[in-house]
A and B are shown apart, each in its own frame.
Chain A
Amino acid sequence: MSEIGKSLVFFFQYYEEMTRLYSEGGTIPGIDAKPDRKSILEKVDEVGRAAGVEAYSLLIACTSDWLTKLEAKNVARISSPRRKAIEANFGMTLDVRSPNEKQSLSPLKRQMGLHFGDDGLLPWVWSRGGVQVERKIFGLLPANVERFASKAYGWNGGAVVFSPIKIPWETATHFTLDASAVIDEAKQALEILSPQFLDAFLNGW
C-alpha cells in the first residue's frame, strides 16, 4: 500500500462535517438549505463508506505482523476483528483473554485497539476497573513510553492511550498522503503491546 485512500484523507480533513453528516446522520444548516441537498448527502455517504473500507485496509496493513506475532506466542486469546465494525468505527477493537479462559464463563476484562482520530492513529488498551486501574497499567510499561490517562482523551475510565501515530491530514494536497511512513511508524508503536506486556496485562496484578 503506497498511499492512504483519498476518501479517508478527505474524511479526516473534514472530520467535523463527515462525522456529523455521515457517522451521526445529523444535519448542517448551510447544507440543509441547498436545493441539491439530497445529492450532496448521497455523495457524503458514498465517501464515508469508501473511507471506512480504506481505514480497514490501512489498519490491517499496520496490525497484521503484530497480530501474527502475538498469536504465535500464545500468551493471549485475541478476538478476530470484525470487518464491518472496523469500517464503521474507523478503528479496531480486540478483546483480549487468557488462552485458557472460556469466553462464556467470565465477563470481558481487557481490550486493546487502534483507532483513527483527527490527529492520526491512536493505540490504546483498556481494562475493567475504572480510572484506578490506569495507574496499574502505567506500571506495566517502560518509563520511556509516552502514555495518557483516559481523561486526556475524554475516554471511559480504565483506558490508557499511547502517543498518536501522527497523520498530517491537513497537509495533504488533492487528498494524497503517503501510507508507508504511517504503516512503519504504527508497526513500531505497536511493539509496546508485546507478548510480555500482554502477559503482564492479563496476569500481572
Chain B
Amino acid sequence: MSAQFGRADRFICDLQKVCAASQAFTGSEKFLSNLDRVHQVELGMGGMIPQIAPSTLGELDKVFKQAKIEAISQIGGSDYLEKLPANHPLRCSVSLFGSLDFGLRETAHTRTLAWLMDPFANHGFGVSLLWVFLKLVFSLDDDFQIEKAEVRSEVSGDESRDRVDIHLSGMWTRSGGKVESWLVLVEAKIEADESLDQCGKYESQFRQGIKSADMARLIFLTTDGRRPTSASRHKWDSLSFIRLVSVFWKESHALMGMQGLEFLRLYVTGVLTDVYNIQCGKLSSKDHVYLIGDFLSPGSFGGKRDE
C-alpha cells in the first residue's frame, strides 16, 4: 500500500516539475525574444554585423557588371528576343496553367511531364521526349533505341500513401544489340519542401525495381536543381525544370506538325513564366538574363558550384 502511495506521489511530484519547467521555458523564450528585439533596436548591432570592406563590394561590383555583359552577349544581345523564331516559348505570353491558377501546382506539372513522355499518349510525339529525357538523365550518347516503355504518374511501390511523382520503366537496345532494362523515378518539388524522409521512403519502396533494373536513376526535379535533403545524396541526381524544358524544346524541331506541339510550347512558356517569373513575350529591364541563358544554352549556364 505504502509502495503504491510512493509511486503516485512521485508521479505527481514529477508532473508538477515538468509543468513548471515547461512554463518557465515558454516564458524565458519569450523574454529572450523580447530582449533580443530591444537590444537590436535600442543598442544597435554593435560588432555583430560582419564588417565588409568597401573594396570587397567594389570588386564584386566590377565582376558582376562584367559577368552580366558577357551573359547578355551569350544569349544573343539585348535584343535577343527579336532574334528568336516567332513560335519560341520565350516570345509567347500565354502560360498553359497560368490561366487556371495552376502555374505552381506540382501535380499539374508532373502529370503533364508524364503525359509528354508517354509514348502511347495522343500528342503524337511517340518516344521523342522520352528518348531525350533518358539521354539526359543517363548521360547517354545517341546510340540507344527504346524498345519498351511505361510512364506513370503518382505511383506507390507499396501500400503506403507516399507516391512518387513519375515512374518510368522499360527496355532499350544499345549499340552492339545489347538489350537492357531501365528505371527512372522522378520526385518533383516546386515550392514545397520534402516531407520527413520522403526520398528515402521511395528508395525503400522501389528497392526491388531499382535493384533488378540494369540501369536506374532517381531524379530530384526542382526549380533550382538542388539536392534532396531526405535521402542518401549520392543516390539522387538533381535536375531543374528549366533544364528539362530546355531539352524538350530543343527537340521541338522534330515534332513539327504533331498534335501536341502547341501544348508543349504553352507548357514551356508556363514553366518559364510561372515557375521562374520570366516575363515571356516582351523585353524587360528586369529580364532574368542568367535564367534565360539556362534555357537557351543549358550547357554553358545552370550548373551548381560544387559540381
Contact = CB atoms under 8 A, between A and B. Distances in A.
A64 B40 contact: yes
A184 B99 CA distance: 38
B288 A49 contact: no
Interface in A54-75: 54, 56-57, 60-61, 64, 67-68
A107 interface: no
Contact of B40 (A7, A16, A57): A57
A17 interface: yes
B290 interface: yes
Given A27-B304, A50-B50, A80 B104 contact: no
Interface stretch (B60-68, B156-164, B228-236): B60-68
B49 A57 contact: yes
B64 to A, nearest CB: 5
B52 A46 contact: yes
A157 B30 CA distance: 31
B49 A5 contact: yes
A5 B300 CA distance: 34
Contacts of B131: none
Nearest to A23: B224
Given A1-B44, A16-B289, A32-B303, A26 B68 contact: no
Contact of B57 (A34, A53, A175): A175
- Interface range, A side: 35 or more
Interface stretch (A37-45, A121-129, A136-144, A191-199): A37-45
Contact of B74 (A10, A29, A53): A29
Contact of A26 (B104, B191, B303): B303
B124 interface: no
Interface string B123-141: 0000000000000000000
A27 B49 CA distance: 26
A35 interface: no
Interface residues of B, number: 52
B103 A43 contact: no
Interface string A79-95: 01101000000000000
Nearest to A174: B54
Nearest to A9: B57
B56 interface: yes
Interface in B53-81: 54, 56-57, 59-61, 63-64, 66-71, 74
A80 B33 CA distance: 7
Interface string B261-285: 0000000000000100100000000
B49 A44 contact: no
A24 B226 contact: yes
B55 to A, nearest CB: 10
A30 B66 contact: yes
B67 A28 contact: yes
Contacts of B50: 7, 46, 49-50, 53
A156 interface: yes
A151 interface: yes
Contact of A43 (B29, B59, B69, B101): B59
B196 to A, nearest CB: 15
A20 interface: yes
A47 interface: yes
A27 B191 CA distance: 21
- B103, B104, B225 — most chain A CB neighbours (10 Å): B104
Contacts of A44: 60
B45 interface: yes
Given A26-B302, A49-B50, A64-B41, 14 more contacts: A17-B68, A24-B224, A25-B226, A25-B304, A25-B305, A26-B305, A28-B67, A31-B67, A53-B49, A60-B37, A60-B40, A83-B36, A151-B103, A175-B57
25 contacts: A1-B41, A1-B44, A6-B57, A7-B50, A14-B61, A16-B289, A17-B67, A20-B290, A25-B304, A26-B302, A28-B67, A29-B300, A29-B301, A30-B71, A31-B63, A40-B59, A47-B60, A53-B50, A57-B49, A60-B36, A67-B37, A68-B34, A154-B103, A156-B104, A157-B101
Closest 5 A-B residue pairs measured CB to CB? A30-B67, A30-B70, A80-B33, A60-B40, A50-B50
